[in-house]
Amino acid sequence: MNQALIPIQMLIYEVRGQKVMLDSDLAELYEVETKNLNKAVKRNMERFPKFFMFQLTEEEWDLLRFQIGTSKAGKLGKGGRRYLPYVFTEQGVSMLSSVLNSKKAIQINIQIMITFVKIREFALTNKELSQRVLELEKYFMQYAKENNTEVEKINQAIDYLINITKPAQIGFKTYNQ
């Protein structure tokens, strides 16, 4: 699958409460082999603390494979990976640009950083919208308490409309002679 055709945000997953990218997805974006990307990282491990990069557990990898629809061939062993994948947080992806010093890596890193920023902005916007809805809900509840008679009239009108539009009898009549 050509990752260039997939928007970067589709390659960002949530693992252990963090937004991360798979080593294999990053390698494909950078146009290097996954094993070479991981070798470069291992040569520079001091640049990648646990909150920049970590290796998935087998359970996490199975859940992620299910989420992204990877076949059994993507599983460890025959026809798949030999090792559990590494994932990189936003900071880890940023650090990759210093380890993979190519023009392609720099261009891709810029795109990935922009995507992470957009995701963060979207999350903040949703949080603000949720807060506004909660405030409106509180306001309506307070209004309903203060104006109980008007709310009661609205409920009576709704009940009346339901009753007058309800059919007198459901079904059909049969006549026995």
Domain regions of the chain by residue span: 3-125, 129-164
**What's the pTM?**
0.60
For 62-85, how does the pLDDT look when each residue is reduced to its tens digit (9 = 90+)? Answer: 888 887 766 544 555 555 678 899
Is the domain spanning 3-125 CATH 3.40.1350? The answer is: no
Instruction: Report the C-alpha gap between 30 and 108 in whole angstroms.
Output: 7
**86-107: average pLDDT:** 84
Predicted confidence band at 94 (pLDDT cuts at 50, 70, 90)?
confident
Separation of alpha carbons 106 and 97, rounded Å:
6
Report the pLDDT averaged over residues 16-36: 91
Using the predicted structure, report yes or no on whether residue 175 has a pLDDT greater than 60.
no
E-assigned strands of 33-139?
53-55, 86-88
How high is the pLDDT of residue 26? 92
Helices 23-30 + 103-146 axis angle, to 10: 130
- DSSP character for 88? E
Could you tell me the pLDDT band of residue 141, with boundaries at 50, 70 and 90?
low
Q: What is the pLDDT of residue 144?
A: 67
Give the span between the Cα atoms of 157 and 171, in whole angstroms: 27
Helices (H) and strands (E) in the chain, counts: 6, 4
